[in-house]
Amino acid sequence: MDKTLIIVLVAVVAAALGAFFFFTQSSGGGATPALAGVDWQLTADDALIIGGYGNNFAYDGTNVRPVSGSAEVQLDIDAPKGVIEATVRTDGTSGPIVMSNGKPLSGTIKLVMKVGQKGTRFQEFKDLHGDSGNEAPVMPLIFNDLAGWGPTDVYVNDKLVYENLGGHIMFTEKARRADGTIRRDDGTIYSPMLEDKTGFTDPNATEFHFVAHNTEPDPDNFPPHSTWIHLVFQHVDVQKMPRQ
Ligand SMILES: [Cu+2]
């Protein structure tokens, strides 16, 4: 065979292989290919919108409704660098997400925590909320495998709508029940006013939380800032996590 022909054939085969790997990596709409050096890799779905403007924790389940969507964490915790994102798509059943008074958002809503930017921090294997002294008692005492904070952008149908909100994620034991409530087995609905803020979580199941809010005071909202979003993902797949 002619040398030039062999070179051409090798080039064609190499290009085809390259295309094959490119398309197999980028197709499917699933998790982003793993980044090098990640300690944590999670995907989550079975999403819930927790309330909206007025009450963004909805402990009694009011205005807690399912929405299609998923979340992804890929984190190199020491750098820190990685991907922390959630995307939900509202529809006629979920209704819009109301982050600010009188501003309903519909369509594809994406939260992106800008991991590595100023203000990003993470904790592993810690109790938060309740009376832990770590975060406000807007949630009962809850064990976190992974918690994170960082500046978070919100896109609606690919348009940047809220920039640099305070974002917070938690991969925790389960607090939100199938009926949308946070309550004890005896029916007690959670309240930050309760003296005993324990006993609301199920250590045998997990969930993923993603909240983001601004810091402008608004006494008519709970928590009292003018812009909030609260998403919970009831099913979490762990691809990778460190040992406790
Ligand atoms: Cu939290």
Q: 103 with 143: CB under 8 angstroms?
A: no
> pTM (2 decimals)?
0.86
pLDDT, greater one: 1 or 148: 148
Q: How far is the CA of 128 from the centre of ligand 1 (A)?
A: 6
Q: How far is the CA of 24 from the centre of ligand 1 (A)?
A: 36
Q: Closest by alpha carbon to 109, among 43, 167, 161?
A: 161
Query: What confidence tens digit (pLDDT) does each residue in 95-135 have?
Result: 999 999 999 999 999 999 999 999 999 999 999 999 999 99
Q: Which residue has the tokens 């909805």?
A: 58
- For 159-190, give one letter per residue: b (16+ CB within 10 A) or e: eebbebbebbbbbbbbbbeeebbbbbeeeeeb
- Average pLDDT taken over every residue of the chain: 90
pLDDT tens per residue across span 5-38: 555 555 544 554 444 444 333 333 455 666 678 9
Q: From the centroid of its chain, how far is CA 233?
A: 7
The domain ranges of the chain are 38-240
Residue 135 Cα, ligand 1 centroid: separation in angstroms? 7
> What would the pLDDT profile of 135-176 be if each residue is shown by its tens digit?
999 999 999 999 999 999 999 999 999 999 999 999 999 999
Share of the chain above pLDDT 70, in %: 86
Protein residues within 5 Å, CB atom, of ion ligand 1:
170
